[in-house]
Structure 1
Amino acid sequence: MGLAVQLCTLPWLGFVPDDIWAVPRAAVPRLANQLAVYAGMLEQYGRRAQTRSDHLKLVRRYLDWKPVPARDETLKELERFLLDRAMSRSATSWPS
């Protein structure tokens, strides 16, 4: 169940939340139903920390996602773009 949550969240969010149990409660039964498993299985997921990181490696390999090196120019461009976007949104959404 936890592996399925990672597989669903990585392409949708672009990352897997550290708190995998914080996924929307409505999503858990739906995903469990699609997998024909008990939704409560997620509560026990990741008790062994290595399980989550092993599963994340599998998900990344399956999706063919490559980590971006921290000093990569593309990452810097993305950070600038997102910061500019966030700043322009927050400036227009503040009450006067």
Structure 2
Amino acid sequence: MEEAVAALLNALNEYLKVQGPRIISVLEITGQDRIRIEVRALYRYFEPTENFEKVSDVLREIIDKKLHGGLEKYGINLVAENDTLSLEVSKNYVKKLLNNLSSF
């Protein structure tokens, strides 16, 4: 897996560990299967790596090198709308992550 994709997924997973239960609730109440999470929500959950100091560095790498496929393998889409970048994540992805956490 590309380092940029791994770094973004790590930030997303850390975010979902905290916000996942609330997100699942909202998705179930509204009957939706996917949710968009603005990338800026991940800033505080991002851990810098040797090559990427900020989330914006990771996003630049993913966009410039067309690494979207690395996210799409997990059912995650990078969506740009009205100058806002979001990750569109499936309810199943969130549930799997939370289930894996509860099995420890």
Instruction: Identify the TM-score tier after normalising by the shorter chain.
Output: 0.3 to 0.5
TM-score by length of 1: 0.37
TM-score by length of 2: 0.35
- Select the structure with the greater relative contact order (CA < 8 A; seq sep ≥ 6): 2
